[in-house]
């Protein structure tokens, strides 16, 4: 991995993202401007903010979603995290994070970005920063058994129409809606 290959891949997926609204398109342009001014914007060491990569993991039928109870956030959210030295692209980062956090090796990722989100957070740097999250659709084969990693308080398959109260319901419902359009 190089900061350059991650940077170029983030620019590419954002440039090719077919946004569904003016708000999403505005966010796309904001993230592109951020990357234009931050050549190392995909690395967690970039304290002004950095690109992260998430995966909406659906089962083969699309009726169940795999969520993690995030220890720092305290809510059920999609899988994902920071780009690492082993990642050649942001798509690689999203797939690696999905595999690491789910314990499922046999996952398939859609290379087209599903959505994006930005949020303030104090992550592993111990300093307030901003995550610019690129989100991808990942499918698990029927019967895939998830195994919780040390990065999660809990990990569970949920029916997409019956999410837990402590879930990022609006975000997950929006991601599932976008995934079902594909």
Q: Band of the pLDDT at 2, cuts 50, 70, 90?
A: confident
Q: How far apart are CA 54 and CA 46, in angstroms?
A: 18
pLDDT confidence of residue 150: 84
pLDDT tens per residue, range 99-136 = 999 999 999 999 999 999 998 888 766 788 899 999 99
Reported as type and span, the H/E element at residue 97 is helix 90-102
Confidence (pTM): 0.93
**Are 95 and 55 contacting, i.e. CB atoms less than 8 angstroms apart?**
yes
Count of structural domains within the chain: 1
Average pLDDT value for residue range 2-18:
95
Q: Does residue 33 have a pLDDT over 70?
A: yes
The rounded distance, in Å, linking the Cα atoms of 36 and 159 is: 39
The pLDDT tens digits of the residues spanning 53-66 come to 999 999 999 999 99
- Average pLDDT across the chain, whole number: 92
What pLDDT is recorded for position 25? 97
81 bridge partner residues: 53
> Where in the sequence is the domain holding 96, given as residue range(s)?
3-180
| Residue 24 pLDDT class (50, 70, 90 cuts) | very high
Check residue 144 and report its DSSP letter: P
171 pLDDT band, cuts 50/70/90, is confident
CATH number at residue 171: 3.90.79.10
Q: Which residue has the tokens 């942001």?
A: 90
Given this model, what pLDDT does residue 1 score?
Answer: 56
> How big is the CA angle at 12 (ends 10 and 136), to the nearest 5 degrees?
60
């Amino acid at each position: 991995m190089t900061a350059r290959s991650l940077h170029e891949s983030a620019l590419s997926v954002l440039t090719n993202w077919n946004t569904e609204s003016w708000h999403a398109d505005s966010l796309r342009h904001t993230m592109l401007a951020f990357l234009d001014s931050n050549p190392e914007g995909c690395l967690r060491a970039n304290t002004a903010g950095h690109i992260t990569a998430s995966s909406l993991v659906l089962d083969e039928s699309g009726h169940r979603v795999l969520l993690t109870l995030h220890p720092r956030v305290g809510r059920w959210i999609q899988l994902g995290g920071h780009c690492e030295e082993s990642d050649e692209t942001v798509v690689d980062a999203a797939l690696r994070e999905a595999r690491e956090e789910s314990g499922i090796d046999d996952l398939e990722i859609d290379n087209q970005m599903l959505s994006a989100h930005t949020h303030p957070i104090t992550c592993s740097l111990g300093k307030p920063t901003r995550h610019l999250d690129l989100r991808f659709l990942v499918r698990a084969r029927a019967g895939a058994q998830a195994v919780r990693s040390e990065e999660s308080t809990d990990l569970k398959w949920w029916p997409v129409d019956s999410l837990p109260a402590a879930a990022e319901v609006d975000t997950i419902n929006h991601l599932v809606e976008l995934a079902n359009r594909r």
